[in-house]
Amino acid sequence: MQRLFTTFADGWPGFGLFIQRLLTGIALLNGGLALLNETATSLCALHIAGAVLGIFIVAGFLTPIAGALVAVIELWIVLAGGGNAWMPITLAILGATLAMIGPGAWSVDAHLFGRKVFPS
């Protein structure tokens, strides 16, 4: 499982990844929750899936998988003609970068799959 994650950066790079995960997850949650007040659309299921993946990204749980799925879902929304395309394109890029870079040290993934130090 460790091969899925490129690094678990800490310090300032880890803080930057945490901020990127936080902003991406909040934007995904906002997009999914905004549709709950509107009438049913054909893209509602995709936005709800994006909101669930936003929770995974904020927590840093299975970040490479969740980021790749976010990129696919948001590009699907763009291709299906879901209105303004700039926000889904931005979220697709952020999801893809999180999938490539990894979650950082301040994540659930780092605690589950990071390198362990065993006392000798």
Domain that holds residue 42: 12-106
C-alpha 94/C-alpha 99 separation (Å) is 9
Helix (H) or strand (E) holding 14, with range, is helix 11-34
Q: What is the pLDDT of residues 103-117, one digit of tens each?
A: 877 777 777 776 666
Query: Has residue 3 got a pLDDT over 60?
Result: no
Question: Would 70 be classed as within a structural domain?
Answer: yes
Could you tell me if residue 27 is inside a domain? yes
Q: Is residue 120 part of a domain?
A: no
The runs of H, that is alpha helices, within the chain are 11-34, 44-59, 63-79, 86-101, 108-113
| pLDDT, tens only, 46-58 | 888 889 999 999 9
- Domain assignment present for residue 23? The answer is yes
Distance of alpha carbon 54 from alpha carbon 48, whole angstroms: 10
In a domain, 2, yes or no: no
Alpha-carbon distances, residue 56 vs 29, 86, 113, 117, 120 (angstroms): 11, 23, 15, 26, 35
Higher pLDDT: 39 or 18? It is 18
- Surface-to-core class of residue 40, CB atoms within 10 Å of its CB (0-12 exposed, 13-18 middle, 19+ buried): exposed
Determine the Cα–Cα distance for residues 100 and 85; give it in Å rounded to an integer.
Answer: 23
Q: What is the mean pLDDT of residues 26-36?
A: 84
pLDDT tens across 61-82, in order?
A: 888 899 999 999 999 988 887 6
Q: Whole-model pTM?
A: 0.81
**What pLDDT score does 94 carry?**
93
Number of domains in the chain: 1
Residue 72 inside a domain? The answer is: yes
Domain membership of residue 115 (yes or no) is no
pLDDT at 106: 73
In a domain, 7, yes or no: no
Mean per-residue pLDDT over the chain, rounded? 82
